[in-house]
Amino acid sequence: SVGVPWTVEGATVRSALNEPYVAIVDIQTELHGIDPLELLGSKASVTLRRGLTENVYGGIVSSVRIRHDHDE
């Protein structure tokens, strides 16, 4: 799953003084047969842009929650 084109569907970032930030990122891919659990422990970065402001958050994937959507 590393190197797979993932699309960010949403993100929430929480930060506080003297605390590590936590980012919860909802991602999806159009590819079938991909195991998102392979992302655990891998490096990741997300760039959030709003207007002229850009914030880049980098870290390690520490948890994965799989949600299945079926359009059938």
State the virtual CA torsion across 13, 17, 20, 23 in degrees, nearest 10: 0
3-class secondary-structure state, position 56 = strand
Average predicted confidence (pLDDT) for the chain:
86
What distances in angstroms separate CA 28 from CA 20, 37, 53, 64, 72, one per listed residue? 25, 13, 25, 12, 18
pLDDT digits (tens, 9 = 90+) for 17-52: 999 889 999 988 888 888 888 889 999 888 889 999
Number of domains in the chain: 1
Q: Is residue 18 part of a domain?
A: yes
pTM: 0.70
SS3 (DSSP) at 36? helix
Strands 22-28, 43-50: pairing is unpaired
Q: Is residue 30 part of a domain?
A: yes
What is the pLDDT at residue 17?
93
Whether residue 72 has pLDDT greater than 50:
no
Q: Indicate whether 16 belongs to any domain.
A: yes
Report the share of the chain in percent with pLDDT over 90.
29
The reply to whether 2 falls in a domain is no
Three-state secondary-structure class, residue 62? coil
Split at pLDDT 50, 70, 90, the class of 70 is: low
Q: Which residue range forms the structural domain that includes residue 14?
A: 7-60
